[in-house]
Structure formats: structure tokens, C-alpha cells
Amino acid sequence: MFYKLGGKDMAKYAYRDKDRKDIIYSDEAIEVDRNTAFFCPDHKCNAKLYICAVDGSKSAYFRATKPNFKHIKNCLFGNSSTEFDSNNYDESQFVYEDAINNLLCNTKPSSQKRIPSAHGTGEPGAHPPRTLRQIYSLCKSLSVRDTYAGKEIGSMILDDRSKYRYPKGCFGNRIIEATVDGRLYNDEKKEVYLVSPINSKKYTFILSFSDEDNYKKIRSEIYNNRDKIIVIAGKWESSGEYNKFTSKVYGTKQVAIIK
């Protein structure tokens, strides 16, 4: 894979105020006083974040450097799964609908060309974010009101930050940040059930499988990680029941477990 900055707990944005209205991005915070504390993007998290530069990189990040004000357990902004170094990707080539459509087909994940880490920032092989994990990290590294390649983050992902955009449900090519709540699967129907967003649990999502092997593999993977955050890329439509949506799942490219 690409050169990685290493370490966890590196947020690309934070807030100046407790109400999380006044956003500040790490790349505009280079001049900021290193002793100024900022608020974690997660409202439930009381971490105090400080701007930090990363050795060998132009990037700066917000980190919870004070032992008494670390990220709460399960705060995604203290988790390396949400790390996204935009320097490693070619934004200009990113077309959201194509990226999702590529996840929704049952081919094996393309064997990605490995870029030797010596190439550092990865310029020679820079490609747009492709895998679900990459796109998810991208979505979590920016505010839902930000855009990437002209597309608003909140229109890519349903999570607790973007739910205001989905008052009547979740339709079309969308990534959902989901969790297990109650019944997880139905072997007869070859269906797996999740809820999203993870805090409000407003909507139920039905993953529908036609292939038995895929069903068993993904059902087990989700079952074994039922206390974790499950991210699914789907083409969602109404299931016919109120607040329930369904998508076909063709393979593991559509599923990411956030540990």
C-alpha cells in the first residue's frame, strides 16, 4: 500500500467551540498556537485536540495529546481507520458514482499495484480513492458539508453527522455507517440486518444476497464483529416497509469493518 503516516488519533478537522459550529481544518491551522485546545468533531467526545505537525509531511493534524482529555472509547476521530492522507490520492480522477458502482459488482478486488514506500507521497501511482475503506476514510476526514471532487460528503455517506440530509430515507448509491441492533440475519431469506446511523438507529438496512457463499461469509464476518461499526456500500431502495431500505450485496468489497 501507500506510504502511511503511521500512528492513530490524527483528525483533519476540529472545532473552535463546544457547539461545533466554528470548524477549523488542520491545513489552515499551521499558524495556530500549539497550546490552543480545540473540540473533537464527535459531540459526545470531550477530547481536547491540539495541532501537531507530522514529521516528513506537509500535513498537520489534530491530536488528543493530553492524557486527561483523550478521545472517548469508539470515537472515530481517535481511530486510525478514519485516517485519510489526501496527498496520496488523485482527487481530480474521483467520480463518486463510478467508485460505488465498482464496489457493487461481483468481481474480485482488483489486485492493486503496490507502490514502493520509498516513493513517499506516491505521486507516480496516485489514483482516486477506490476501496470502501478509502472512501469511508475520506468521508470521515472531512466535514459532511465539505466537497471532494465537487461532491458533497454528506451526499456520499449516511452517518450521525449527515442524517439531516436523509429525512425520508436513504436511496441510491450511498455508504452507510451502521451497527447491529437486534436480529442480525435470516438464513431462509439470505438477508442480514443493520441499522444506521449508529446513534439514532433511525433506519433499518437489509442486505440481500443471491449467492450462498457470499451470504455466509459476510454474515459471519458481521456476526463476529457485531459490536463494531459496519460500513456498507449499497444501491439502496425502499424495502416496502416504513424506514427500511434494501440493497443487493455481491461481495466483500461492499463491506468494511471498522475496528
Helix (H) or strand (E) holding 178: strand 172-178
* Total site size for Zn ion, rule CB under 5 A: 7
Dist CA 99 CA 127 (whole Å)? 12
Of 8 and 183, which CB lies nearer to Zn ion in the complex structure?
8
Task: For residue 47, state whether it binds Zn ion (rule: CB under 5 A).
Answer: yes
Supply the minimum distance, in Å, between the C-beta of residue 228 and Zn ion.
Answer: 17
CB 55, min distance to Zn ion, A: 23
With contacts defined by CB under 5 A, name the span among 13-21, 32-40, 84-92, 153-161 that binds Zn ion. 32-40
Q: Should residue 229 be labelled a site residue for Zn ion when binding is judged by CB under 5 A?
A: no
Sheet holding 13-15, edge to edge: 23-25, 13-15, 38-39, 48-53, 60-63
Interacting span for Zn ion (CB under 5 A) from 20-28, 73-81, 143-151, 169-177: 73-81
Three-class secondary structure of residue 176 per DSSP: strand
The single-letter DSSP state of residue 168 is T
Asked whether position 75 contacts Zn ion by CB under 5 A, the answer is: yes
Those residues with Cβ within 8 angstroms of residue 182's Cβ, 6 or more apart along the chain or in another chain: 193
Per CB under 5 A, the segment of 64-72, 172-180, 186-194, 210-218 that binds Zn ion is 64-72
Binding residue (CB under 5 A) for Zn ion from 10, 14, 24, 45: 45
CB of 79 to Zn ion, least distance (A): 9
Judged by CB under 5 A, the residue of 13, 62, 77, 96 near Zn ion is 77
22 in helix, strand or coil? coil
Give the residue from 21, 18, 30, 19 showing the smallest Cα distance to 61: 30
User: Closest by alpha carbon to 93, among 64, 63, 128, 47?
Assistant: 128
Q: Which is nearer to Zn ion, 47 or 231 (by Cβ)?
A: 47
Site membership for Zn ion, residue 83 (CB under 5 A): no
Cβ atoms of 93 and 83 within 8 Å: the answer is no
Q: Phi, psi at residue 88, to the nearest 5°? A: -85, -5
CB 196 within 8 A of CB 159: yes
**Binds Zn ion by CB under 5 A, chosen from 9, 42, 83, 85:** 42
- Interface with Zn ion, residue 40, by CB under 5 A: yes
Q: Rank residues 157 and 232 by Cβ distance to Zn ion and give the closer one.
A: 157
Task: Give whichever of 44 and 58 is closer to Zn ion, judged by the CB atom.
Answer: 44
Closer residue to Zn ion in complex, CB, 75/158: 75
Nearby residues of 35 by Cβ (< 8 Å), 6 or more positions away:
50
Cβ at position 76, least distance to Zn ion in Å: 8
Piece of 69-77, 109-117, 152-160, 213-221 that binds Zn ion (CB under 5 A): 69-77
Question: Which amino acid would we find at residue 38?
Answer: F
Alpha-carbon 172 to chain mean position: 18
Return residues touching Zn ion (CB under 5 A): 40, 42, 45, 47, 71, 75, 77
